[in-house]
């Protein structure tokens, strides 16, 4: 009998305050959205996020030697970028990064360069995926899709425009990042 093993990968979600990081995570993990803004400086850790085979079968197939493995992801979400800058704990053991900006706030887009620099300073080999959140707010949009894609291309990272409110591309973005992390881990063995 093959014994099931658990593999845990750490994913962090970062970006400027107010870009919708917590709503992106809760939309993906719990299919919930809150219109109330949170300013809690705590780190929220969503543990043992499991990708079920029927939802994401490619992960099952990517496991080497055909072993029956449970894949778990710990998703770290912080409300305060100041906490992020002051500690290596947030980055320690990280396998993937969901970098988020708000398509209605030009400043959050302009700060992406700084975020990529911070990420690469702490994590030389982590996988990064860029998300332009709040795409449902068409009438308030200040950052065009093409600018988001051009930035991602210049950094060699994947890009999605998404909306945590209406769930557009949330699942796709997370699943692509998680699959990239799994594939990367499998090639390192």
Quick: pLDDT tens for 85-107.
556 777 888 899 999 999 999 99
- Shortest CA distance to 109 belongs to which of 63, 72, 145? 145
> Is residue 132 a contact partner of residue 162, using CB atoms and an 8 Å limit?
yes
pLDDT in tens, 23-51: 898 888 878 888 775 544 444 444 444 44
Alpha-carbon distance of 85 to 119, in angstroms, equals: 10
Domain range list for the chain: 5-187
CATH, domain 5-187, list 3.40.50.300, 3.40.50.2000, 3.30.2010.10, 3.40.50.1360: 3.40.50.300
Among 43-47, 69-73, 116-120, which stretch is predicted with the lowest mean pLDDT? Answer: 43-47
**Hey, which residues does 6 pair with through a beta bridge?**
70
Q: Specify which residues 97 forms β-bridges with.
A: 12, 128
The whole-angstrom separation of Cα 29 and Cα 174 is 10
């Amino acid at each position: 009998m093959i014994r099931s093993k658990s593999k845990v990968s750490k994913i962090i979600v970062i970006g400027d305050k107010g870009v919708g990081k917590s709503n992106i995570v809760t939309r993906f993990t719990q299919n919930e959205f809150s219109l109330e803004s949170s300013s809690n400086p705590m780190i929220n850790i969503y543990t043992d996020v499991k990708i079920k085979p029927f939802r994401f079968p490619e992960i099952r197939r990517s496991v080497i030697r055909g072993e029956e493995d449970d894949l778990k992801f710990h998703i770290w979400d912080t409300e305060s970028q100041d906490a992020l800058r002051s500690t290596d704990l947030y980055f320690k053991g990280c396998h993937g990064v969901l970098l988020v900006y708000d398509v209605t706030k030009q400043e959050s887009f302009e700060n992406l360069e700084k975020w990529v620099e911070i990420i690469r300073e702490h994590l030389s080999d982590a996988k990064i995926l860029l998300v332009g959140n709040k795409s449902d707010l068409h009438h308030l949009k200040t950052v065009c899709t093409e600018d988001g894609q051009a930035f991602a291309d210049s950094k060699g990272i994947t890009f999605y425009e998404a909306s945590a409110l209406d769930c557009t591309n949330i699942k796709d973005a997370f699943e692509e990042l998680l699959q990239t992390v799994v594939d990367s881990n499998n090639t390192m063995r």
